[in-house]
Amino acid sequence: MCWGVFPLAADQPRSQHALKPLSLSKDPLAAAKKKEGASEDAAKEKEGAPEDAGADVLLGPLWSPSGMVIRGTLPSTWAGRQDTTALRTALREDTAGTIHLEGAGPAGPPPALPEPKGAISSPRSGCREQETQRMSGEDNGRDGSASLVWEAVPGMLFQEDKQTRLHPLSLSWVWGYNSSLAVHSLMDGEDRVLLYVSSHTVVIHDVLGNKQYHLQGHTNAISCLCVSEDRRWVATADRGPDALIIVWDSFSGIPVRTIFESHPEDGVSAIAISQDAKYLATISGGTVQRVCVWNWTSPTEKPMCSTELRPEFGYQDYVIFNPQNPYEFVSNSKTQVIFYLWGNAGLQYGAPLLSSKTFNSVVGHFSQSVFHFNTSQALTGTSAGKLVVWDTVSPCTPSKELRVKPHSMKATKLVPMQKDSLTVLMVFESCIVTGDVKGQVKFYNGELRLLTCYSHSQVGPIRSISFSKTPPDPPSASPACSTSCTSSSQPFVARGTLFAALRSTRLSEQTGNGSVCGAGLKLSSDLVRGGAVNMEPLTMVAWRHVKRLFRVSSIAHLFVYTPVTCKRQKLCRCHSSSGLPTQVENGTGSSGFPRRFTRNFILSTSDATVLHVATDRTNFDKVMEEAKKAVNAIACHPRQALIAVGSRCGLLKVWHYQQTKYLVSRIFTEAGIQCLSYDPEGYFLAAGFTDGSIYILDAVSLQSSCKEFKFSRGPVTHISFSHDLEYLATADEKYSVTVYKRVLQNGSKCWEHLAGLRSHYKPIRSILFGVQLDSNKPRLLSLGEDRQLVEYDLNSSSKDHLVVLHRDQVEQVAVPLCLAWYPQLSTESFILTANNCYKMKLYNTTTKMCRKTLLGPTYGSPLEKIQILPTTDTMDPQKRYLAYITKDKVGLQILPVDGNPHKSSAFICHPDGVSDLASSYDGRYVFTAGGQDCTVMKWEVNLNALDAAASLGGKDLIPFYNLLDGGREGEFFRELEDYFYYAQLRSHGIDTLETRQVSTHIPLEEIPSVMRAMGFYPSEEEFSGADIKPNPRSARAE
């Protein structure tokens, strides 16, 4: 392990001025003057500084959205029109914003690229009276109540009381996350808050408080995300049908902006947000990728500009803005880096060539790219452990066209940094930070000189690095010393430090004959006014560096002071020629790193581990360790609030799901876990593996209670215990059922293999233990896609001989998918099945005859698994409920099943596919496993909400009328009504002279004729399976 202390520039502190909301008037100029006057008054009151006319003009474009406030009603995300006035106010924008159409670019002249580039041009120009009047009118019509976004502060998500659950199923907790996406640190210190993606949900996780808040709105798995510099705005995007881009307020958890149909063909593969948090850059998926720039604070649904990339550039999966210039960004694939520049001329890009022949050295695949913090260069990390240095071409005759186009970027150097592959590259303050496949985090200065390295033997390949929002307080800070070193609350600046910093920005455009304080920097005479520095003539680049290095937010804060001698002070902060902070002790410089500039950071790795690194204590704390491969198996304890989670990587973990605490785990290195099951008493936990083996474990310690069994011919897909704990049955991918029996040996019971049988010729969908009606002995059934329901005779089975008792075909055309014992709601006992035609069928448990065929839930895909929710003592025994999963949804169904669509409800849980379903022993929670998305979700059940929805749907036949085209008043219903009359004429006889009795019933024997008249032609076999017989005197149908 290698530790070190490294220098970084101090970060700009939050402004302590009270931000007052901008009152919108019909006169935009008056409103702007009022805002400007308020800012000047606040600055004078706080600092007592002389008036500086250029300060506000200079600071305007550089204000970050930290401490943002939004007044007014809550912006509607899902409505057709969204109120973005508050957002533009929060981002320090003029509320009367100009709407830019696609290709138009921002208002004002196109941005130039000076040497060094990085000047920020403000897009806020033009006449906006009409927009301001419209916004002012809306503001006057409001009731004055503050919105949730306006009132939001960091950490408020976890301070509110738990709200009432309004849906039948509500997401309560998520285990696991998408390790291919970054993990961001929103807060650090006493409130350690992380933000990460789990399937289609953004999770804000308070680690120390053990709480989660979920940002739900995507219907597809989230493919990319980005976070603003102040950690308030979170932009997420997905890929798939109806792909969305959503911008969230992380303080309140509210989606403040939704962009529909941004990339309707293939969704979004990469997204980035500018330093000022006003613009988004997105890159679509697919073969032909489209790059768009969005002003998300504008209500328009079209991008400001866009362009398409050629397929030979490779799949661009990473994009980042230039922090010094929001009109410039870079993206890269594994083989190509592309530089972009957008403005009035649209979106332009340049793709410089680079190969192993360029520098006669292996380049490797590109990972990530960044812009250098104080030069015109850009850097790209590679899999060969090298950094590619990109710089602008300097022609002999400077051309204005070349300076404003990205085509002039060229690879100038290939710097070997290490042997291991670089996976993360970022700029933090005045350092360049890298992460590699061996878990090392290295810090370099602007000249790529190593400052320090953090490493740990248990850290895998690094996927992301996120620094804390504010540096931790120094543990050995001396208030007395800090007080005596400065004569006021203004920051201490040593003589010459300011001008050395300005010199490092290379402001070649400033010329003059005078010099200040002997610093050697040539400045015009009007830069110095009585000891204060007038920054108006300086460029944006200069102000950005001064603001960051000296922790100031206003020009009024900058003064040049003569240092006050302090006997207690041994260290004095100054700057080297490179512009980096160094530590000086008794006049001797070193490469040390002042403690008060250190920041803790969060590491996420490709193997689904998240660690917190405290730089002052030099230690790694493991925050999360989740499954790095597919999670296909979950099981709930039958008597306690425990859930077991198994993954394909061999990790088995047990959680207390009410307290959301990890209890115990075990790693199996031989194979992955495919299925899990607790026995009815909760003593054992059986696990089936991908290599065909099964383990029977102690439910508490996860230690093996007997030897490993390996009798299955393929990966074990299903596993189940009998109710009396005498049998254990498994099903595998080779269509075989294997049974194990518990026997008495040497005075103790142990498990042994009984027999196995290849009883199906297509995949087995379910195995089910039950209890015989005339005894307490177990019975075993299996259901396959071959439409066969097989029951086994366990009593007659012997060693290596499994006897089949019955074999029944349960479907003619449809494919059965799942099986469950139907609750005893009547005198007859049933088996419930669901097929791929959205039908649910009830079969008599003894005769296997189909008694009812009903419409099941129709939510895009048929039911994959079903499970009867357990009952509690307080519930009505006649009110039972069914939990189910489809391809991507989880839902609840009220029993008895009758085809009423209002008795069912479903929610998207895992867009890429649900692999398993489990319910808690008391029926209060339902759990789903997401398979490839490596997550498990806990859903809180609210049966009252489901009952209320069913009641609102109507009674009798009213809920069913809407299932017909046009409803009860439609043409289809009228035609069906005529066929009912024709059927009654047929049953009564056409030539009869007796008085006819018109009824709403028809004989069962006429149902086939009515169905065929409506265009549905079932076979006679299907009618016989439904027990429809020609007996008009005793059976009638509605």
Taking only the tens place, the pLDDT of each residue in 673-695 is 999 999 999 999 999 999 999 99
Give the tokens for residue 318.
Answer: 């990473």
Most confident of 152-166, 584-598, 829-843, 1005-1019: 829-843
Asked if the model's pLDDT at residue 760 lies above 50, the reply is yes
The C-alpha atoms of residue 326 and residue 295 are separated, in whole angstroms, by: 11
Region 659-674 average pLDDT: 95
Instruction: Give backbone dihedrals phi and psi of 238, rounded to 5 degrees, phi first.
Output: -135, 175
pLDDT of residue 998: 79
Q: How far apart are CA 937 and CA 800, in angstroms?
A: 40
Closest CA to 101 of 303, 291, 282: 303
CA distances from 729 to 117, 676, 738, 803, 807 (A): 70, 12, 6, 14, 18
Q: Please report the pLDDT score of residue 161 as a whole number.
A: 58
Which residues, including other chains, have CB under 8 Å from residue 759's CB and lie 6 or more apart?
735, 736, 737, 782, 784, 788, 790, 792, 802, 804
Q: Which residues contact 469 (CB under 8 A, 6 or more apart)?
A: 185, 186, 187, 188, 230, 231
CA dist 851 to 443, 767, 957, 1025, Å? 72, 21, 21, 8
Is pLDDT larger for residue 991 or for residue 116? Answer: 991
Q: What are 495's two structure tokens?
A: 């003589």
Please give the Cα distance from 117 to 325 (Å, whole number).
Answer: 8
Is residue 890 helix, strand or coil? Answer: strand
pLDDT in tens, 761-802: 999 999 999 999 888 999 999 999 999 999 999 999 999 999
Q: How confident is the model at residue 553 (pLDDT cuts 50, 70, 90)?
A: very low
Q: Residue 210 pLDDT more than 50?
A: yes
Residues 820, 734: Cα–Cα separation, whole Å: 22
* Calpha distance 299→81 (Å, rounded): 7
Q: Which band of pLDDT confidence, cut at 50, 70 and 90, is reported for residue 405?
A: low
pLDDT tens digits, 88-114 = 545 544 433 333 333 334 434 444 433
Residues 6+ apart with CB under 8 A from 465: 424, 426, 433, 435, 441, 601, 602, 603
- What is the rounded CA–CA span in Å between residue 945 and residue 168? 5
Q: Which of 211, 203, 149, 206 is nearest to 181 (CA)?
A: 203
Q: Quick one: 51 exposed, middle or buried, by C-beta within 10 A (0-12, 13-18, 19+)?
A: exposed
Pseudo-torsion of CA 905, 911, 914, 917, nearest 10°? -40
- Distance separating alpha carbons of residues 248 and 281, to the nearest angstrom: 16
Residues 6+ apart with CB under 8 A from 515: 521, 522, 523
Question: Residue 733: what pLDDT?
Answer: 96
Burial bucket for residue 520 (CB in 10 Å: 0-12, 13-18, 19+): exposed
| CA dist., res. 830 & res. 911, Å (int) | 33
Which pLDDT belongs to residue 591?
A: 38
pLDDT at 1026 over 80: no
What residue type is assigned to position 894 of the chain? I
Q: Give the whole-angstrom CA distance, residue 750 versus residue 240.
A: 50
Q: How many CB atoms lie within 10 A of CB 287?
A: 8
Rounded to an integer, what distance in angstroms lies between the CA atom of residue 971 and that of residue 954?
22
941-976 burial string, b = 16+ CB within 10 Å, else e? bbbebbeebbeeeeeeeebbeeeeeeeeeeeeeeee
Please give the span between the terminal C-alpha atoms of the chain, in angstroms, as a whole number: 79
Q: What is the pLDDT of residues 16-29, one digit of tens each?
A: 333 333 333 333 33
**Confidence tier at 184 by pLDDT (50, 70, 90):** very high
d(CA 437, CA 418): 11
Q: Looking at per-residue confidence, does 525 or 460 come out higher?
A: 460
The Cα–Cα gap between 958 and 647 comes to 46
| DSSP for 326-390, written as a single string | EEEEEEE-SS-EEEEEEETTEEEEE-----TTTTTS----EEEEEE-SSSS-EEEEETTSEEEEE
From 135-144, 645-654, 994-1003, the region with the lowest mean pLDDT: 135-144
pLDDT in tens, 730-745: 999 999 999 999 998 8
Q: Which two tokens stand for residue 638?
A: 């039958």
Residue with tokens 């899902």: 78
- Which two tokens mark 316? 């661009």
C-beta of residue 224 within 8 angstroms of C-beta of residue 270: yes
Angle (CA) 261-267-270 rounded to 5° is: 120
Strand, coil or helix: what is 555? Answer: helix
pLDDT in tens, 299-321: 888 999 999 999 999 999 999 99
- Residue 646: its pLDDT value, please? 97
Q: Decide: residue 297, CB within 10 A, 0-12 exposed, 13-18 middle, 19+ buried.
A: buried
SS3 for 130-165, per residue? Answer: HHHHHHHHHHHCCCCCCCHHHHCCCCHHHCCCCCCC
Find which of 155-169, 588-602, 927-941, 944-958 is predicted with most confidence, using mean pLDDT: 927-941
Question: For 738, what's the count of Cα atoms within 13 Å in the CB-facing half-sphere?
Answer: 23
Mean pLDDT of all residues belonging to the chain:
77
At 431 the pLDDT is 92
| C-beta of residue 300 within 8 angstroms of C-beta of residue 288 | no
Task: Kindly report which listed range (435-449, 475-489, 719-733, 763-777) carries the lowest average pLDDT score.
Answer: 475-489
CA angle 304, 306, 309 (to 5 degrees): 165
3-class SS of residue 779: strand
pLDDT at 632 exceeding the cut of 90: yes
In one-letter notation, the amino acid at residue 973 is F
Classified as helix, coil or strand, 618 is: coil
CA–CA dist 644, 660 (Å, integer): 12
The residue among 653, 621, 578 whose CA lies nearest residue 458 is 621
Yes or no: say if 501 and 579 are a contact pair by the CB < 8 Å rule: yes
- The backbone region for 564, taken as left when phi is positive above 0, alpha when psi lies in -120 to 50, beta otherwise, is beta
